């Protein structure tokens, strides 16, 4: 469920340092309004708790299922054993000690909670607001998808609960905050830092796509850093399990693939387009297509004209170009070898994918 955020104003659309310092959080669009609450340590003001009004929108106990991840050295496929060895999670609502609100949104908030000396993020969604904003399907999709996935670089859903007033999702607490904050403070990342973060995203996308799940909301605001500096992909309100294509208009304008804008129907290829946008933004400090009006952004995306910084690493530029191919069937990651083509690109030549999956690599220091 993507948050309604302020689009940067015209005075901030120059891409030197002043733009990078002032860049606002971006607006995400769907066929109906929605909001995101990330399970990070990013602090927001307190908000009202769950409140009255109810309809039949219920959750049942959710336990993450075991899964395998197709990864490997040099882009080859390699089975990885489940992370939790069959361990399930069981909580009672009375077990949770709410400490403070750490995120707020249109129809809910996220609270830092403690139970048995462990910290968690409790996502509280007001049922009447979920219904009023027509977000029932997004909430159901998010829960259903998070229940069936488990991966070291994806947020983990531990438990769900409901009352007459609210829906609750208990998620792992990710203490490092959003990658967006680090990128905004740094201006841009070094090539090695961008490779590190992009590599972990590639593994997460490869895993999701192996389950026919398209994520559709990749951007720095939806990437959290854990205490060890590794990424966690969060906010699955726009994610969807696909059999073929979907036509829903959703996502953040700067990150939308051409086929979404043109309502041609889209599939998992949109995630690889978004990865190209993200890599550009990490290395340059701004997205390749920008305007103070969403329709201006769409025009620039469809035109495909990018102003390339002179000092951009040529290998990175080659990867970005191959990810930002308008024809999705020719887009890197969307051809016969899938994610393997991305992993085999020269920009990732120093990545040991198996070690990365096990987090046996040096983290980036900020």
The catalytic site residues sit at: 217
- Give the C-alpha separation, 193 to 199, whole Å: 10
Cβ atoms of residues 220 and 201 within 8 Å? no
d(CA 212, CA 218): 16
**How many CB atoms within 10 Å of residue 46?**
12
Tokens 């219904």 belong to which residue?
131
Q: Does 219 show up as a binding residue in the annotation?
A: no
140: three-class secondary structure by DSSP: helix
Spell out the residues 6+ positions from residue 342 whose beta carbon is closer than 8 angstroms to its own: 75, 202, 272, 275, 319, 323, 332, 333, 348
Q: What is the DSSP letter of 221?
A: G
User: How many CA atoms does the CB half-sphere of 214 hold within 13 Å?
Assistant: 26
* Cα–Cα nearest to 57, from 115, 105, 108: 108
What is the SS3 assignment for 120?
strand
**Nearest alpha carbon to residue 355 among 24, 73, 98, 20:** 73
Helices (H), the chain: 17-22, 127-132, 136-148, 179-186, 191-210, 258-261, 269-284, 294-303, 314-323, 339-343, 353-357
Q: How many residues does the chain have?
A: 366
User: Residue 180: how many CA atoms within 13 Å on its side-chain side?
Assistant: 19
213, β-bridge pairs? 241
Q: Are the C-beta atoms of residues 230 and 179 closer than 8 Å to each other?
A: no
Binding site for ATP: residue ranges? 123
């Amino acid at each position: 469920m993507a948050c309604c955020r302020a689009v940067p104003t015209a005075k901030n659309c120059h891409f030197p340092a002043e733009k990078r310092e002032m860049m606002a959080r971006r607006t995400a669009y769907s066929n109906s309004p929605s909001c995101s609450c990330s399970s990070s340590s990013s602090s927001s003001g307190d908000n009202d708790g769950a409140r009255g009004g109810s309809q039949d929108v219920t959750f049942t106990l959710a336990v993450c299922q075991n899964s395998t991840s197709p990864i490997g050295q040099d882009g080859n496929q390699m089975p990885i054993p489940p992370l939790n060895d069959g361990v399930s999670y069981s909580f009672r609502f009375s077990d949770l000690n709410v400490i403070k609100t750490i995120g707020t949104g249109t129809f809910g908030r996220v609270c830092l909670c403690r139970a048995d000396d462990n910290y968690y993020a409790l996502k509280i969604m007001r049922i009447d607001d979920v219904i009023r904003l027509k977000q029932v399907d997004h909430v159901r999709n998010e829960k259903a998808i998070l229940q069936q996935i488990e991966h070291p670089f994806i947020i983990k859903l531990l438990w769900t609960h409901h009352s007459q007033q609210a829906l609750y999702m208990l998620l792992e607490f990710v203490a490092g905050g959003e990658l967006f904050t680090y990128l905004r403070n740094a201006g841009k990342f070094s090539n090695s830092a961008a490779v590190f973060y992009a590599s972990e995203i590639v593994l997460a996308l490869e895993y999701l796509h192996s389950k026919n799940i398209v994520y559709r909301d990749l951007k720095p605001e939806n990437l959290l850093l854990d205490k060890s500096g590794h990424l966690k992909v969060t906010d699955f309100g726009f994610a969807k399990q696909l059999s073929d294509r979907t036509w829903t208009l959703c996502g953040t304008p700067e990150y939308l693939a051409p086929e979404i804008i043109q309502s041609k129907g889209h599939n998992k290829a949109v995630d690889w387009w978004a990865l190209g946008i993200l890599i550009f933004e990490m290395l340059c400090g701004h997205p390749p297509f920008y305007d103070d009006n969403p329709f201006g952004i769409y025009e620039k995306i469809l035109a495909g004209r990018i102003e390339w910084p002179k000092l951009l690493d040529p290998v990175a530029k080659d990867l970005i170009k191959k990810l930002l191919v308008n024809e999705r069937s020719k887009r890197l990651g969307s051809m016969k070898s899938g994610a393997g083509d991305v992993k085999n690109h020269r920009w990732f030549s120093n990545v040991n994918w198996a070690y990365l999956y096990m987090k046996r690599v040096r983290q980036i220091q900020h």
